[in-house]
Each structure stands twice: as structure tokens, then as C-alpha cells.
């Protein structure tokens, strides 16, 4: 039995946390004027006051919104980029991208001094662990007998804390983590949900995703304990939550992926169910956990497929990588986590060498932040370190250096293709859903702007995410997340944290 198989146990009964979202999306907080030394408003504030007010009823059918005068980074070669461009939205979709668009009937968002680009897409995030943030900042994945082996992810997160989750813990963790990522510009996530101790736990996870009002892919992975109905409950979940056209949820924001971990002895049942339900299949592939031989067998026997999402792919053989490329399977990288938790070396050189477009993912917030500026910078600097070292050694046969634009492609279109959403999101393309970011390029950490992709990847952080739209609907406006009572939700998350650590008998070790 592989190491990960030993960390499975526990179950609880259903409870739902209700009434967590503030009524309506219009509860914006007004800010006071920033005063200069003589008491008059500063130049920066006068500029802000001149900006347009928030369009009403954004995202609704027939409503038109024009994002005007921004630095438009479309991530679509056929559309191009615009130093000063506009994006026209009707309802939930983009209808035009260009310079000086005419739309007299549209409400206007003044995007001067803002970078306008597609939302980020996270293809692998264990959202149920939000209450465990920073607990395992210095930990590794499993106890490998070295001095760094405790605490570790398998023993403490999976073995002790995960089994005590109640459905209401699942709900608040998923909801709060989703809202936090939305605030940071991550408009789409695949929730790699390994918390299905009962059908009630599964329902709670889906309700948390739904109530966050962002685009989500529900990854139905395993649970623990006698009440778990994985994998067979996938049929109920598919019918109950994703019965509309193209496997979408009723609100059009959620789809479903089947989890089929190859370290589980009965993973064949999950794989068969994925085929029966016509769902993409996702699973972790980590060499340091003893999965290389199993994955080689799957690759050699032709079982890889185009709709497989392979998470990490550390420590795999050349034969396996060739099979991945030939099958057209997708590779999801969690570069900061792979580097810090001893998964193995992130396979950026392999994806570069083979011409594979990967996606980026945040993985676990118990160890690392889930914002995508961290993901992109880590990816860019690591790949360039590898290639630069080859250049210094005189190697002529080496991959090209990764560029800022390319790593943004990983974070947008790479994720869209991996989750099979490339016809909906990932670029500012007419006809696609309007999942759009406005990033402040006049902020103190960015100005003056000299290169748009470079500024996004090498200078920006979540504080630069000024406005976020999902399906044309404004979810964050001028730095303020809309429609969520964050103090109340934070209290609920803290109460969940307190319960989880007490029930698991784990010391949080606040300063250790």
C-alpha cells in the first residue's frame, strides 16, 4: 500500500451553515477622502472620484457594459492587445474588443490606468482546508524519516484534521476560500474536494461553491469513514446539480470533474464511473509517493486520455511523459507547493521540452497562499533558473526562457483548456463569458507602467486587483468585494478552525 493510502478514516453527520451571504450584491462600502497635509483631497483621490460609478444590473440579459480606455491584454492572438482599448459586454458575454468602440446605450467602466485581462484559472485547490491556513507553512508532505518529517501533510492534515470535518465546516471553508480567491482575481477554480465523508459533506461543498458566485469545477474526490458514498454518489450529484445543458449547474457557473486517485486500490470503479457519466477525470501523480510505477503501467497500457487532468506529474519517466503528450492529457502544476513540500522538482523543463501547455494551481493553503501572482512568479523564476543554469554551463540544446506572457497563458488559457472550458473563458474573445479583471497599473508598486505582461507577473499582487467580473456580473468593485458579509464569515471560519483543532487533538503551535 502506498504512503497516501494510510491517511484515510472518519465521518460525521450533516449540518449546514446558512445565512452567510449578505443580502444582495449592492452592499458597497463608501470610503472617506484621502487628505493631503493641508486637509484637501489628494490628487489620487480626485482622480478616483472622477471615475465612473458602478454599473447597475451588470451581467443581466440585455444589459450592456463598456470597459473603456484600459490596457487590454486579451490573451487571444486573433483579437490582439490594445494600449488603449475597450471591451463591450452584453449580459454575461463579451461582444466586442477593440479601440474606441461605439456603444452609446452601454454603461461605462472607466479603465484608464488599468490593465484589462481575463480572470485567472486555478486547476487544483483543496478549498476545504481554508481554516488550516499557515498551519503547515514549514511542513512537508509525509514523514520520510528526516528531521523535517513532523508535522506533515499526510499525518496531520489528512490523518487527524480531515476526519473530524462536519458538513458545516466544509461549507464555510469552501465559501470563504472561494471568496478570498475571487478577491485576488481567480475567477475559476477546480475544487479538488477530498472531503466526501457523507452525501451531506458533498452537498455542503457544492453549496459553498454555489454561494461564492464564481465559476467553479466541482472535483468529486474521495472521503473517509463508513458514511462515505464515494464513488457511487457521483451519479446523484451529477443528476441533482449538473442536469442542465453541457453538464452545467442551474446558474451556469459550475461543472463537474470525477476524482480517480491512482493510489486508491479501487480507483478502477471511479474511472469507469467517469466514463459512464462522461466526466473529465482528475488525479494526483506524485513520484515521491510511490506512484511512478503505477502511472507507467497506465501509460504503457494506453489508459491515458485527453480528458485526464494530471496533478503535479513530479518524478515521472520519459515514457510516461511521451504518453501524456500523445494522449493530449492535461498537466496541472502547483509550483510553490511542489518546491516546498518535497513532491519533487516541478516538471517545467518537461512541459517546455514537449510543448505541453500546463496550467497553474494553488493546491493547499495550509502551506502556501492561493493568489495567482505567487503562482506565476514562482513558475517564471524557477523555469528561468533551470534554463539560465544550462546556458551558464554552455549547453546549446535547452528550452527557451519562459516569458511573462507565456506564464500568464498558463494561468488563463492553460487552465481553461485543462478544465475543458476554453470555449467559455480564458481570453477576452467575443462570444466568451465576461470573466474579466481590472488591475491597477497606477498603484505605487507598479507605476510607471512600461510593459503590461511584465507588470502583471513581476510587480503585481492581490492589492492591484481593483475590479472583478464573473459572467459579466461585477463581483468586486474598486477594491471592495461585493455581496458578502466578510466579518461574519470570518467569525464562522474561526469557529470552524477552533472546533477542528480541538476535535482532532492538534496543537496549532502559534509561534513554533
Domain housing 338:
3-10+120-418
**pLDDT band for position 38 (cuts 50, 70, 90):** very low
- 254 and 397 part of one domain: yes
- 174 and 323 part of one domain: yes
pLDDT at 45: 39
The Cα–Cα gap between 210 and 199 comes to 17
- 451 and 327 part of one domain: no
- 233 and 115 part of one domain: no
Residue 24 has pLDDT above 60, yes or no: no
Q: Is residue 346 part of a domain?
A: yes
pLDDT at 308: 98
Residue 488 has pLDDT above 60, yes or no: yes
Provide the residue count of the chain. Answer: 512
Mean pLDDT, residues 42-49 taken together: 42
CA atoms within 13 A on the CB side of 449: 21
* Phi, psi values for residue 464, rounded to 5°: -85, -10
- 393 and 453 part of one domain: no
**pLDDT band for position 35 (cuts 50, 70, 90):** very low
- DSSP 3-state of 242: coil
Q: Is 483 left (phi over 0), alpha (psi -120 to 50) or beta?
A: left
pLDDT at 202: 98
Q: Is residue 46 part of a domain?
A: no
| Domains contained in the chain, number | 2
172-222 per-position pLDDT tens digit? 999 999 999 999 999 999 999 999 999 999 999 999 999 999 999 999 999
pLDDT at 150: 87
- 324 and 446 part of one domain: no
Find all residues with CB under 8 Å of 389, minimum gap 6, and list them: none
- 413 and 435 part of one domain: no
394-452 per-position pLDDT tens digit? 999 999 999 999 999 999 999 999 999 999 999 999 999 999 999 999 999 999 999 99
**pLDDT band for position 328 (cuts 50, 70, 90):** very high
pLDDT at 29: 35
Q: What proportion of the chain, given as a percentage, has pLDDT over 70?
A: 90
Using a 10 angstrom Cβ sphere, with 0-12 exposed, 13-18 middle and 19 or more buried, the burial of residue 104 is exposed
pLDDT at 246: 85
Domain boundary among 371, 399, 418: 418
Q: Look-up: residue for cell 528550452?
A: 399
Mean pLDDT, residues 486-504 taken together: 98
**pLDDT band for position 509 (cuts 50, 70, 90):** confident
Q: Is residue 93 part of a domain?
A: yes
| Residue 456 to residues 236, 314, 380, 414, 452, Cα–Cα distance (Å) | 42, 27, 12, 17, 6
Find all residues with CB under 8 Å of 493, minimum gap 6, and list them: 130, 131, 172, 173, 176
pLDDT at 52: 66
> Mind giving me the DSSP string for 38-89?
TSSBPHHHHHHHTSPPPPTTTTSTT-EEEEEEEEE--S-TTT--EEEEEEEE
pLDDT at 39: 39
Q: Where are the beta strands (DSSP E) in 106-208?
A: 107-110, 114-118, 120-125, 186-193
- DSSP 3-state of 124: strand
Domain boundary among 367, 400, 418: 418
- 329 and 449 part of one domain: no
71-89 per-position pLDDT tens digit? 999 999 999 999 999 999 9
* Higher pLDDT pick, 317 / 8: 317
- 212 and 321 part of one domain: yes
Tell me the whole-structure pTM to 2 decimals: 0.91
- 124 and 112 part of one domain: no
- 205 and 143 part of one domain: yes
Q: Is residue 34 part of a domain?
A: no
Residue 5 has pLDDT above 60, yes or no: no
- 113 and 228 part of one domain: no
Mean pLDDT, residues 274-280 taken together: 97
CA dihedral (358, 364, 370, 373) positive or negative = negative
CATH number of residue 240's parent domain: 3.20.20.140
Amino acid at each position: 500500500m502506498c504512503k497516501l493510502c494510510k491517511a484515510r478514516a472518519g465521518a460525521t453527520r450533516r449540518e449546514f451553515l446558512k445565512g452567510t451571504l449578505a443580502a444582495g450584491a449592492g452592499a458597497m462600502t463608501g470610503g472617506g477622502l484621502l487628505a493631503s497635509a493641508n486637509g484637501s483631497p489628494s490628487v489620487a483621490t480626485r482622480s478616483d472620484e472622477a471615475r465612473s460609478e458602478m454599473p447597475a444590473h451588470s451581467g443581466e440579459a440585455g444589459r450592456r457594459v463598456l470597459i473603456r480606455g484600459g490596457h487590454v491584454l486579451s490573451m487571444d492572438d486573433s483579437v490582439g492587445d490594445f494600449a488603449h482599448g475597450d471591451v463591450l459586454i452584453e449580459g454575461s458575454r463579451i461582444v466586442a474588443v477593440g479601440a474606441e468602440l461605439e456603444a452609446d446605450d452601454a454603461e461605462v467602466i472607466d479603465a484608464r490606468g488599468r490593465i484589462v485581462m481575463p480572470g485567472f484559472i486555478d486547476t487544483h485547490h483543496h478549498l476545504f482546508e481554508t481554516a488550516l491556513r499557515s498551519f503547515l507553512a514549514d511542513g512537508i508532505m509525509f514523514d520520510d524519516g528526516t528531521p523535517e518529517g513532523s508535522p506533515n501533510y499526510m499525518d496531520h492534515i489528512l490523518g487527524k484534521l480531515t476526519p473530524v470535518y462536519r458538513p458545516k465546516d466544509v461549507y464555510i471553508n469552501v465559501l470563504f476560500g472561494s471568496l478570498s480567491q475571487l478577491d485576488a482575481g481567480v475567477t475559476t477554480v477546480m475544487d479538488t474536494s477530498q472531503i466526501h465523508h457523507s452525501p451531506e459533506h458533498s452537498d455542503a461543498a457544492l453549496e459553498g461553491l454555489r454561494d461564492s458566485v464564481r465559476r467553479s469545477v466541482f472535483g468529486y474526490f474521495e472521503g473517509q469513514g463508513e458514511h462515505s458514498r464515494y464513488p457511487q454518489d457521483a451519479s446523484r450529484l451529477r443528476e441533482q446539480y449538473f442536469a442542465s445543458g453541457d453538464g452545467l449547474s442551474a446558474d451556469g457557473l459550475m461543472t463537474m470533474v470525477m476524482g480517480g486517485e491512482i493510489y486508491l486500490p479501487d480507483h478502477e470503479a471511479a474511472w469507469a464511473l467517469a466514463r459512464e457519466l462522461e466526466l473529465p477525470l482528475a488525479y494526483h501523480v506524485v513520484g515521491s509517493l510511490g506512484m511512478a510505477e503505477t502511472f507507467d503501467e497506465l501509460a504503457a497500457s494506453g489508459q491515458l486520455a485527453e480528458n485526464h487532468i494530471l496533478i503535479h506529474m513530479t518524478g515521472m519517466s520519459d515514457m510516461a511523459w511521451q504518453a501524456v503528450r500523445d494522449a493530449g492529457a492535461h498537466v496541472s502544476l502547483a509550483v510553490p507547493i511542489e518546491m516546498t513540500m518535497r513532491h519533487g522538482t516541478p516538471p517545467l523543463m518537461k512541459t517546455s521540452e514537449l510543448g505541453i501547455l500546463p496550467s497553474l494551481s494553488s493546491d493547499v493553503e495550509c502551506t502556501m497562499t492561493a493568489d495567482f501572482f505567487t503562482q506565476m512568479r514562482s513558475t517564471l523564476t524557477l523555469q528561468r533558473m533551470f534554463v539560465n543554469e544550462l546556458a551558464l554551463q554552455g549547453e546549446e540544446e535547452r528550452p527557451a526562457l519562459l516569458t511573462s506572457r507565456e506564464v500568464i497563458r498558463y494561468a488563463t488559457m492553460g487552465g481553461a483548456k485543462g478544465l475543458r472550458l476554453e470555449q467559455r473563458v480564458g481570453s477576452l474573445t467575443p462570444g466568451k463569458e465576461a470573466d474579466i479583471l481590472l488591475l491597477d497599473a497606477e498603484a505605487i508598486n507598479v507605476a510607471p507602467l512600461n510593459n503590461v505582461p511584465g507588470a502583471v507577473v513581476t510587480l503585481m499582487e492581490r492589492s492591484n486587483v481593483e475590479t472583478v467580473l464573473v459572467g459579466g456580473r461585477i463581483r468586486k468593485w474598486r477594491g471592495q468585494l461585493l455581496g458578502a458579509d466578510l466579518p461574519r464569515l470570518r467569525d464562522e471560519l474561526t469557529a470552524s478552525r477552533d472546533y477542528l483543532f480541538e476535535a482532532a487533538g492538534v496543537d496549532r503551535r502559534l509561534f513554533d
